[in-house]
Every structure is written in structure tokens, then in C-alpha cells.
Amino acid sequence: MPGVLSQLLAEDNPTQPRRSHRPAPAKSVIFIYATGGVSHIDTFDPKSTSNGRDGSGKDKLMGNLFGAKPNRECGTEVSNIFPHLRDMMHEVCLIRSMRASHFDHSEATLGMHTGSPTFARPSMGSWISYGLGTFNQNLPSFVVIAPHLPYGGTQVYASDFLPAVHQGTRVIPGDNPIANLKAPGQSESLQHLEFDLVRSINKLHLDSREHDTALAARIKSFETAFQMQHSAPEAFDLNDEPEHIRQLYGIDRKVKGPGADFAWQCLVARRLVERGVRFIELIDTGSRPNWDSHGEMNEHKDLAYNVDQPTAALLADLKQRGILDETIVLWATEFGRTPTREGSNGRGHHRDCFSVWLAGGGFKPGHVHGVTDEIGKYTVEDPVEVHDLHATILHQLGMDHERLTFRHAGRDFRLTDVHGNILHSLIS
């Protein structure tokens, strides 16, 4: 049986587009990750209960602090700190019954990204790159736009035991999103000569080391980096975007704090999807203040202001361009927050229920899945585990989560481990 790298070299490209297990509506994913633990009670599952105590009889309840209104078309109720997103909820499939894999930040973050809160495993983006490849060979298959890293650090976009070519490429908003993209003072013809020489030597070296995934990934990374010198600057340059699009995303708004570049992140994500990148993750903050509002829930207002308009604009822009149906937009956080008060005006970590949402990619627009109790403490209908979410996303990309495997350390691994149920009720 030929080794993994023999197969890759026969194909000549480990990231070339691959046939999915079945026809499917979605081709790519934009994953918006809000790090810190967003309060479901104050955002997408607003609860008005603010009097009395929880079942323990000790902790004082605190309901939604910001008020809420329904979307005019589908009736989904959303907090007033997300007015733009509320206006787009008729395009959104909202899950209110998500359960976190852990109650600590790093573990729950890794659980949401890799399916494993306790062991290093490949990220969802790496699995999707491995399973489907990418359409644009001049750009990475998996791009992470992250001004700051979330809890869990670089493991959230690591490929771990998958071929290293499938790990995420981090982009930092600013004048130089990808550092050292061009060799200073070197002509293109000289680069061609050097690149061809290095590539030929590396492939000779690889012939006797077909299981060396790191070397195969290095060869591919050289190729991609060389091609990116032309493609990446154009993809990240927003100067050709018309003024009405810049206004739609709020590019020129005066925004402060760690999420100030989020409009840039969202608009670049749309440009990358248009250019055939398979998986794009946008990290919403990472340094404090992030969504971890233990002491003061009013922090949520400024954080929501930073991301509300750009996120809604991304949905609207994808829709008007006719590519929302083939793009899964996933918004998630690691867990929710308690229905009870912590400190003077904060909330603690809460794993038993919280909200995530999906749009496009064949998911039901204007749909709400799951019900929590009147104070937002427990799920009372249709609970969802992280493995279920991953299985359903893979399904919408045409992949059977039980067949997308990789042999490592003597057994077959997969994103969903030995778990995962496809949530057919979310699918149009």
C-alpha cells in the first residue's frame, strides 16, 4: 500500500480540490469566533427574568441587561446590542441549545475548534482542507485572520497529525497582513531560479522519505508562498472596494479596542471566499477586554458594537453576490454565561447551554433550534453537542464525518472522534 506522501506526490498537490463524498450545497466556510464566552442571555437567547434566585437558592438571578426585540420577518428575538444582526436573523439558523465541551476557556475553545478539549487534535479548518482541498492554489486553503490569538493559542488552527500543509495561515490586520511575503531586493527571475532549484533538491530528498509529512508540507508551502506574492496583496487590498461597500461594513467607523479591525476582517473574508479559499476563520478579539465579562457585563456593549455591523454586512454582501448559499457562515463562542450575577455586574462561565448560529450553506434561514429554560440555565429541548455541530457542517460540505479519517498512532482518527449526529432539522 503506497504511503500517504506517495499519493500526495502522485497527485502533485496535496491541496488540490477533491471530490466530496456526496453532492452538497456548501463549498466553503467562514468561521467567526468570539473568544471569551459570550452571554447567551444578553444576546441571542434573551431572558427577562431578573428577580429571585436560581434552583440552589443561593445565587441571585440577573436577566438580559440590554433589552431585546424580534426580527421583523422571522420573529427571532435578539438583544438590542445586536441591531444589525437582528435585522439579518431571517437568514440565520440559530442554535440556542448548544452544550460546551468544558467549563474552562482553553479546553472549551479547543473543543469547539478541534472536537477535543483535552488532547491536541487537528482543527476543523485543517480537517476540511485535508478532505476537500482548495480552489485557489495561489492562496492558502485555510486562512486565520487574528489580531490576537484566542484561548488555546495556535492550536486552534494547527494541523497536528494531519499533513502540515493543512494548518491555518495567520493573517494580522494592518498594512502588512502577511510578514516577509516578498524577498527585498530580489528580482522575480532570480526567485524563479532559486525556487526551481530548491524544489528539485527537496523532491529528490523526499523520494526516500515518503512518510515525512513535514518535508512535503515545506515543499508545498514554498510553492504557495511564491504564488502568494502576487495573489495575496491583491486579496488584502481594499482600495478597489466601492464606497457603498465600505460603508456597508463600516470600514471607516471610529472603533476602539481589540476588535477595531473587525470590519476589515469581514470584508477580507468575503474577498477570500470569492477567490476560492476553502476555510477562513475570523478571531473576534483575544486580548482583554474580550467577551469574558466576569465583573462587568456592560463590556458586552462595546464588543458587540465592534462586530455587529460588519458581521451583518458580511451576510448581506454574500447574499447580494449570490454566494451565501454555497458559503457556511458559522458564529460561535466557547460557552455561555451564568444566569446569575457574579461580582457587581458580571457573569460566570456556563457550559450547560449557550447559543451559536449558522447562515448560508443550505441551513434553514429564520430557524431556531433548541429551547432553554426560563432563566437560561439548562436546555429543555433538542440539546446539541460540539460533535453534532461538526458532523452537520461536514455534511453540508458533502463529507461523511465517519469517513473523513486519518490513520495515526495505529488507529483512524476523525474530527468527531466516535461521536456526532447530523442535525437534519437544521437543513433546508
For the chain, residues with pLDDT lower than 70 are 1-12, 49-58, 179-192, 194-196, 199, 209-222, 225-227, 230
**Orientation of helix 213-236 relative to helix 4-11, angle to 10°:** 40
Task: Provide the number of structural domains found in the chain.
Answer: 1
For position 9, what pLDDT does the model report? 39
- DSSP output for 205-258: HHHT-TT-HHHHHHHHHHHHHHHHHHHHHHHH-GGGS-HHHHHHHTTT----ST
Q: Give the alpha-carbon dihedral of 196, 201, 207, 208, to 10 degrees.
A: -170
- DSSP output for 336-404: EE-SB-BTTBB--EE-S-EEEEEESTTBPTTEEE-EE-TTSSSEEE--B-HHHHHHHHHHHTT--TTT-
Angle, alpha carbons 61-64-66 (nearest 5°):
145
In this structure, are residues 426 and 369 in contact, taking their beta carbons and an 8 Å threshold?
A: yes
Q: How far is CA 212 from CA 66, 209, 394, 414, in A?
A: 54, 6, 28, 21
- Distance, in Å, from the CA atom of 421 to the CA atom of 290, rounded to the nearest integer, reads 31
- Distance, in Å, from the CA atom of 216 to the CA atom of 14, rounded to the nearest integer, reads 9
371: closest CA among 425, 415, 322? 425
Q: 311: part of which helix (H) or strand (E)?
A: helix 299-320
Cell 434553514 locates to 364
For position 177, what pLDDT does the model report? 80
Q: Which CATH number is 211's domain given?
A: 3.40.720.10
* The residue type at 342: E
DSSP bridge partners of 31: 281, 330
Angle, alpha carbons 24-262-230 (nearest 5°):
70
Q: 301: part of which helix (H) or strand (E)?
A: helix 299-320
Q: 124: part of which helix (H) or strand (E)?
A: helix 124-132
414: closest CA among 396, 400, 402, 425? 402
Query: Domain range spanning residue 267?
Result: 4-426
- Distance, in Å, from the CA atom of 373 to the CA atom of 355, rounded to the nearest integer, reads 13
Segment 273-304, tens digit of pLDDT: 999 999 999 999 987 789 999 999 999 999 99
- Distance, in Å, from the CA atom of 104 to the CA atom of 49, rounded to the nearest integer, reads 26
Q: Residue 130, Cβ neighbours under 10 Å: how many?
A: 22
